[in-house]
Chains A and B, each alone.
Chain A
Amino acid sequence: SYEVTQPPSVSVSPGQTARITCTGDKLGDKYVCWYQQKPGQSPVLVIYQDTKRPSEIPERFSGSNSGNTDTATLTISGTQAMDEADYYCQAWDNSTSVVFGGGTKLTVL
């Protein structure tokens, strides 16, 4: 079955840029999306189809997924304390359907 892998944790200082990676076989050939989940809350979609951002999501959130690599990246520019959360990547594979990464805990310190 298809799998995508994320680092368990990422730390960033306020105002700096946070980058969270998602790795999977030929991931560049698939669409990737990203969810933010704060403690006690339901997940919220922050990036879809690699680079698109829902209208309610701040511009500091961006995504990339190069066509010739196995890695997609969620980038948070000018990270704020409110961005501290768990982040999950997700892809679709024809054999596994929806696949989530294991999640990355972003700490802003």
Chain B
Amino acid sequence: EVQLVESGGGLVQPGRSLRLACVASGFTFDDFAMHWARQAPGKGLEWVSGISWNSTSIGYVDSVKGRFTISRDNAKNSLSLQMNSLRGEDTALYYCAKGTRAYGSGSYLERWGPGTLVTVSS
């Protein structure tokens, strides 16, 4: 059974940093792209970032480019999101999601974790 467990969320002041982690199990982690998506309270889904199985293809939504960095450690079945210069509009539930084997056209988020809440406030 695919399991994705996020951690690292919490309350952080504007301008500060936070690092999210996701540990995966139940599938061959290094065969699949991985993604982070988020959902602000009462709002819709927003894709944040994605990374191919071998980290050669990486993408970000425009609003986080230059502030967030996605990475993965295939030896540890883990995905990370380093979030710097946080803003109030980054407040959201952050989901880790298993992608498809290919990173590109036709990509979708096959399984989602329960999410970890990030609150940016002074």
Please list the residues of chain A having a beta carbon within 8 angstroms of any beta carbon in chain B. Answer: 1, 30-31, 33, 35, 37, 42-45, 48-49, 54, 86, 88, 90, 92, 94, 96-103
Contacts known (A42-B95, A92-B104); A98 close to B44, Cβ less than 8 A: no
- Please name the residue on chain B nearest to A34 by beta carbon: B108
- Please name the residue on chain B nearest to A44 by beta carbon: B112
Task: Give B46 Cβ to nearest chain A Cβ, in Å.
Answer: 6
B95 touches A98 (CB 8 A): no
Q: How many interface contacts (CB-CB < 8 Å) are there between A and B?
A: 64
Task: Give A17 Cβ to nearest chain B Cβ, in Å.
Answer: 24
Complex Cα spacing A48 to B105, Å: 12
B45 touches A88 (CB 8 A): yes
B50 touches A48 (CB 8 A): no
- Please name the residue on chain B nearest to A48 by beta carbon: B108
B109 touches A31 (CB 8 A): no
Instruction: Identify 12 residue pairs between A and B in the complex whose beta-carbon atoms are under 8 Å apart, listed by A's number.
Output: A30-B105, A31-B105, A33-B108, A42-B95, A42-B113, A42-B115, A43-B109, A45-B111, A97-B61, A97-B107, A98-B37, A102-B44
